[in-house]
Structure 1
Amino acid sequence: MALRQKTLPAVRSTGEDHRATPFELFFDLVYVFAITQLTGSMARERDANGVFQGLLMLALLWGTWSGYTWLGNHSRADGGLLRGGMVVAMAAMFVVGLTIPEAWADGPGALVLVGAYLVVRWVHLMVFAVAASGDTGLRRQIAITWLPMTASAALLVSGTLLGSGTQMLLFAVALVVDWVGIYLTARNGHWRLRSPAHMTERHGLFLILAIGESVIAVGAGAAGQPVSAALLLAAILGIAVAVCLWWLYFDVVAGAAERRLSGVRGEEQVILAVEAYTYGHFPIIAGILLTALGVEGVVAHAVEGEPLGVFSALALHGGVALYLVGHLLFRLRMQRTLGRRRLAAACAALAAAPAAVLLPSLAGLAGVVAILAALIAVERARHASRNGQGRASVGDRPPAAGLIT
């Protein structure tokens, strides 16, 4: 009996100084593939229905990734039971990615997708229950989570069997049941946040992977086109958008948010992580995905010099606006204040969308770069002014003063 216990896969707990492991980055690769599939599907559909379906699927994927992030925060993901469970989840998530193009079509694809998705969810909860051994409160919380997840699963399976427009409706209801149910049970529940640094780092790394999708979009839009000055300019502007999206999150926001999360304790810290990261980061990720979709449309039509069109213009400008609104919501939850400059930039992006519909595609993309670059310049000038007046530098600010205002 003692020998059998020694051969059981170990579960290693984490501490406050725990950071993201290389295995977790490896785990994220299947999500990169799935997001690329989502972007490709929306680009082929090129209508509001396709965008809604894509964002709905993204929300389902985001929920699974968030669950494994909390698991990796509780116990190390790079060994023993967790690594084995996450390898199984990777295989299932890869199947989800493969079947995304068939998710809304008649045939077995949607049912295979839902089955693989549920495997990802079930493995997460089962492994988490084992990892939480000895923690009665956490194990009770995991058991409660099965309730909204099971109800959501029934709706997903029903949607795939009924098909057509009913599928999209039931998928949306399933998402609401799952997200609302988990949120409500988490507010007064027993989830554990052992390492704020790990939580913030994992979300930052996923955001980088999402921004990488906008870089991939440049290549996808340029595929098969002869090299020309217009194409090169479109590619440069597309990379500039990706750089701006990265800058706006990582220059100040990411570090200040980590300090804020580390500055609270207990239940307040858990709720802050749930609301600001698990739920609050989804609009940011969705905004990046839509922006990438718009960038791909620009690059694909740059050589012809044609107008950007309604679909690509709304995806590009709406994606940037949603990304900035996500920042506003994130700041509002972290500090209870509103970022006026980013709100103004989001409004400017939306206001420029009608003109981008009619202007050449390069002009629309250049306008977005100009808005984002101007926002960065204004924010950097404000910080330089603060530092010039003898205030603390960005890295030394107390948590309450760290985010962009």
Structure 2
Amino acid sequence: MNARPVTSRGGGRLRRLPLPTIADGTSRVTTFELFFDLVYVFAFTQVSRLMAETHSAVGVAQALIVLSLMWWTWVGFSWISNSASADQPFLRTVMSAAMIAVFVAALTIPEAYEDLAGGWSGPLVFACAYAAVRIIHVGLYAVVGWRSPALLRQLGIFMVAMIPAVALVVTGALVGGVMQVWLWLIAIVYDVAATRVGSALGQGWRLPSAEHWAERHGLVVILALGESIVAIGVGVAQEPIDLPIVVGSALSVVVSVLLWWSYFARLAVAGEEALLARDEKKRALLGSDAYSYAHFVIIAGIIVTALGIEDAMKHIADAEPFGWFGAAALGGGIATFALGTIVFAVLIGQRRFVMRAVEAGVVLLSIPLLAAVPPLAALAIAVTLMAVVALVETRLHRGGAHRA
């Protein structure tokens, strides 16, 4: 890949600073991008921690708002690395700076709403780190698209959404309380909606590589699924190993495997093929809707499911009922994931998603049952429902393939 050399004089010597150029559309995900995404793994863990500590519906809602803010920063850099290789020195340097800001934001997630005694204001540090990430993103994208008038024009439209949204996040951190929650919610809704409208108006975004885009999002799904695996161990980390822990762990891993199967065995390849079938302009629109937007629902479903798994594992040997919080997290998370895959399937042109709707409905309806039985039984019921859906969906898929 070529780069434009920029010359500058400093210390009496001529230096050449290679700036990135638009990718040729054939690249795959680089190791640096995977390294970059590790800070988001930590962010996912921190969001789960915030949910678990608040242990309330309000706390889960607040955590999901934070997750949406963090997701939107990840989305921005995923677009950049699809346009220019992250292996270029300039991109690695600037993205490393963004990693620091993302990590600081993730570090403060547990006190994003309730500032801990001593030190700096947690909410304000989170807001400032978030703002820094957004500013770095726009600046870097401007460098990447320096030879594309359409992209620069699109960035100008994009800033109409970004600047008020960032201002609302900082303002919310300053005022605190209930108003902070509402301002942050308004910020992300406005940012996402205005960006979508601006994208339709400007039509300047491009996705040179369909393969890279699909692979990058598949990998972030894997990273989120890793959080569901971690949740198993977190729930019983301080407990002596016994039969309930072994059985509960096995059931929890099966939940994660079935979530993996639902995405990768049924949709991942179809998504990449749908992107490949479109030109760059239409591909950008599909990439935005099916991946930048719909994948947030998928990621959120995985994170909430991990919360339910962690809550179940903490009480895996108990004979008492699981309770509404854990049951709602487990069932609601699985249902949210299923709904996310339905939206994704519709957008990429897949029509065999009826069993996903059945899964979402049945799991939601089973929440009272999950709440009434012991945690181990709740996990077993969830696995059974998911496995039945997977088996029926497989048979329907094979039957459709034979008829085709």
TM-score, normalised relative to structure 1: 0.93
What CA distance in whole angstroms lies between the structure 2 residues aligned with 1:66 and 1:336? 24
**Deviation sequence 1:119-149 (CA, Å, 0-9, x none):** 1110011011011011111011112211211
The answer for unaligned runs of 5 or more in structure 2 is 1-5
How far apart are the structure 2 equivalents of 1:248 and 1:288?
A: 12
Partner of 1:249 in structure 2?
Answer: 263
SS at match of 1:281: helix
Match of 1:231 among 245, 267, 272: 245
1:271 maps onto 2:285 in alignment: yes
In 2, distance between residues paired with 1:336 and 1:182? 26
Aligned to 1:394: none
In structure 2, what is the Cα distance between the partners aligned to 1:15 and 1:374?
44
Q: What is the CA deviation profile of residues 253-290 of structure 1, one whole-angstrom value per residue up to 9, with x for unaligned ones?
A: 10011101110114222111111100111110000000
Which residue does the alignment assign to 1:66? 75
Alignment of 1:50-129 (within 5 A): 50-106=59-115, 108-129=121-142
Number of the residue aligned with 1:212: 226
Does the alignment pair 1:367 with 2:381?
yes
Partners of 1:358 and 1:240 in 2: how far apart? 22
Report SS of the residue matched to 2:18.
coil
CA distance in 1, matches of 2:64, 2:343: 18
Instruction: Determine if contact 1:314/1:353 at 8 Å carries over to the other structure.
Output: yes
Asked if the contact 2:331/2:364 (under 8 Å) is kept, the reply is: yes
Does residue 284 of structure 1 match 2:298? Answer: yes
Counterpart amino acid of 2:261? W
2:361 equivalent in structure 1: 347
1:171 aligned partner: 184
Please say if residues 328 and 338 of structure 1, whose CA atoms lie closer than 8 Å, have aligned partners that are also in contact: no
How many angstroms does 1:12 deviate by? 4.1
1 CA distance for matches of 2:233 and 2:245?
Answer: 11
Of 197, 208, 230, the match for 1:184 = 197
State whether structure 2 residue 326 is matched by structure 1 residue 312. yes
TM-score w.r.t. the length of structure 2 is 0.93
Alignment partner of 1:150 is 2:163: yes
How far is 1:93 from its partner?
A: 0.6
Unaligned stretches of 5+ residues in structure 1: 392-405
CA deviation after TM superposition for structure 1 residue 327, in Å: 0.8
What's the offset of the Cα at 1:381? 2.1
> What is the match of residue 193 of structure 1?
207
How many angstroms does 1:375 deviate by? Answer: 1.6
Contact 2:270/2:348, CA 8 A, preserved across alignment:
no
CA RMSD of aligned residues (A): 1.5
1:21 alignment counterpart: 30
Structure 2 partner of 1:403: none
Amino acid at match of 2:60: V
User: Deviation string for 1:157-178 (max 9, x for gaps)?
Assistant: 1111111111001000111111
Tell me the distance in 1 between the aligned counterparts of 2:352 and 2:361.
Answer: 14
State the shift of 1:291 in Å: 0.2
* Distance across 1 between alignment mates of 2:8 and 2:98: 29
CA distance in 1, matches of 2:166, 2:264: 36
Asked if the contact 2:345–2:353 (Cα under 8 Å) also holds between the matched residues in 1, the reply is yes
Q: Is the 8 A contact 2:208 2:280 kept in 1?
A: no
Q: Secondary structure at the match of 2:131?
A: helix
Could you tell me whether the CA contact under 8 Å between 2:318 and 2:375 is conserved in 1? Answer: no
* CA distance in 1 between partners of 2:184 and 2:350 (Å): 33
Distance 2:390 2:215 in 1: 22
Kindly report which structure 2 residues correspond to 1:319-330, keeping only aligned pairs within 5 A, or say none: 319-330=333-344
Alpha-carbon distance change, 12 to 137 in structure 1, aligned in 2, over 3 angstroms? closer
The percent identity for this pair of structures is: 39
**Which amino acid in the other structure matches residue 193 of structure 2?**
V
Cα 1:270–1:372 change in 2 (3 A) is same
